[in-house]
Structure formats: C-alpha cells, structure tokens
Amino acid sequence: NAAPIDIAPVLRRMLFRENCSCIMTSATLSVGRADLAYFRQRIGAGEVEPVLLGSPFNFQKQMRIFIVKKMPDPREAAYGEALEHWIAHFVEKTDGRAFVLFTNHRGMQQAAERMGQFFSQKQFNLLVQGGGAPRGKLLDQFKTTPGSVLFGTDSFWMGVDVPGEALSNVIITRLPFAVPDHPLIEAKLELIEERGGDPFTEYSLPEAILKLRQGVGRLIRTKSDQGIIVILDSRIVTRPYGRAFMQALPKCPVEVI
C-alpha cells in the first residue's frame, strides 16, 4: 500500500488550478467554531469562499456536557479504576442508552472485562466492538435493545447515526490524540519537523479536535434528541491546549465536576 504524505500539492495541481467550481461540505471541517485554516492548509486551497452555517439544533436545550476534572491523568495507574467508576456513574444516569468511546482496543477490552459484573447486575445490555459481530449488527442490537451500552473505538466516533432515545449519552474516555506509531502519521509529523514546524500544534492537536467534534456529534441527530456528553479526561480543563478543545464544542451548558 502507498499513500501521499501531503495531499495539498496534488489537489492544488489537479483540482484547484482548473477552471471549475468545487464545493466541499461537512459538519466538521473547522477546528474551532469558525476556523477553516487547518482544512485549507491540508488540501492546498488558496482562494476560497468559506461559508459557515449554524447548526439546525438547539444545543442549549438539547445537550449538556459534563467534564470530570477529578480524573487522574490517563498515564497514571489510578486512571483505570476512576474510569470505570465514572462510566458506571453516568451510565446509570441515563439507564444505559450510551456510547462509550475509547481511543484504543486494549483499553476498551480491559474496561469491558472489569465492568462485566456491573452491567450484568444493572441489567444493561453491554455490546463491545471487536467481539466478532460487524458494526452494523452491533448498531442494530443497540437500537432495538432497551438499556444498551456500546463500547467502541475508531469507527464509532464518526459516521454512526442513532436518532431518538436509544442514544442519550456519549462518554469520551480520553481526548482522541492519535498515537504516532502508524507509518503515515509518523511521516506526516517528520515532514512538519523538516519544514521547521511544530507537529503537535500543526497536526496532532487539530486532528484530535476534529475527532472529538465527530464523537460529540453522535449524540444529537434530530431536533427532538436530548442527552449528555461526558468527557473523562481532565486535560481538557487542566492543560493549556484544553482551551482549543473547549472552543470547538457546541455552545451548551457545561458542568465541571
């Protein structure tokens, strides 16, 4: 397999220099609420006419965000136990009906194994990605079985649509920074360094912000949906870069506990 490290020169040459109109649209093109600079830089778009449209949803009334500041740092040994405590706490608040989004399969499997007894006692239907069932089947089970809780990784952060009361709670276990062990990501970071840039601020941070926005976007799918977002990573309020994540979230009530 082969993939370009930087697609900007290719798109600039083959698409944007042609005498044609090109419309690109998505709910998560901007890193912040009105910042398209990262997207434009990545695709090599120079002269563009950005149009930022508001959401059709009333997030102030439909959604509430909880941020657990008491969480240990994800690298600390106490993180796992605290993670399970707060997952249980917020899953009970919504009688299941929750996505719990992880950033790696190992952490997800460990949490699922340790919390199995809790879910059995509370009679919540626990679904775990990677157990052999395809994503579509897991989603069908989640939608049709009351009180379901789905533990998922990458493919459940985006492109998943569960409107209605079946999904009323999205729990983000960690800020979704990519681990730079994939050859393509590693090459992108090295290229930024060679150009004299900062790989964290120019790639890792904006990519994580976009992924967080996609994960949060799983919750409200219609004008009648309501629910909560839970962020179990204290770095969003304790680290300087956390402000960039906060600014990218929808405008709605936020409670730090």
- 86, two tokens: 């707060």
pLDDT reading at 48 higher than 80: no
Domain with CATH 3.40.50.300 in the chain: 59-256
What is the percent of the chain where pLDDT is above 90? 70
Report pLDDT for 125: 96
Span 190-195, average pLDDT: 94
Span 191-196, average pLDDT: 94
The pLDDT confidence band at residue 179, using thresholds 50, 70 and 90, is confident
Pairwise CA distance, residues 47 & 54, whole Å = 23
Are 40 and 48 in contact by the 8 Å Cβ rule? The answer is yes
Pairwise CA distance, residues 54 & 57, whole Å = 9
Are 103 and 181 in contact by the 8 Å Cβ rule? The answer is no
Q: Which amino acid is present at 216?
A: V
What mean pLDDT is reported for the chain? 92
For the chain, how long is the longest CA-to-CA vector?
63
Report pLDDT for 115: 97
User: What crossing angle do the helices spanning 105-122 and 79-93 adopt, rounded to 10°?
Assistant: 50
Query: Which residue in 196, 157, 203, 214 sits closest to 180, CA to CA?
Result: 203
3-46 tens-digit pLDDT: 889 999 888 888 887 677 788 888 888 887 667 888 888 888 87
Are 42 and 9 in contact by the 8 Å Cβ rule? The answer is no
Pairwise CA distance, residues 183 & 86, whole Å = 34
53-74 tens-digit pLDDT: 888 999 999 999 999 999 998 8
Instruction: Tell me the pTM.
Output: 0.92
Pairwise CA distance, residues 211 & 32, whole Å = 12
The pLDDT confidence band at residue 242, using thresholds 50, 70 and 90, is very high
82-138 tens-digit pLDDT: 999 999 999 999 999 999 999 999 999 999 999 999 999 999 999 999 877 889 999
Residue partners of 185: CB distance under 8 A and separation at least 6: 178
Report pLDDT for 34: 66
The pLDDT confidence band at residue 229, using thresholds 50, 70 and 90, is very high
Pairwise CA distance, residues 174 & 114, whole Å = 18
Residue 55: HSE in the Cβ half-sphere, 13 Å Cα cutoff: 18
Report pLDDT for 257: 96
Domain range 59-256, CATH architecture: 3-Layer(aba) Sandwich (3.40)
DSSP state letters, 36-78: -HHHHHHHT--S-----PPPSS-HHHHEEEEE-TTPPPTTSTT
Report pLDDT for 33: 66
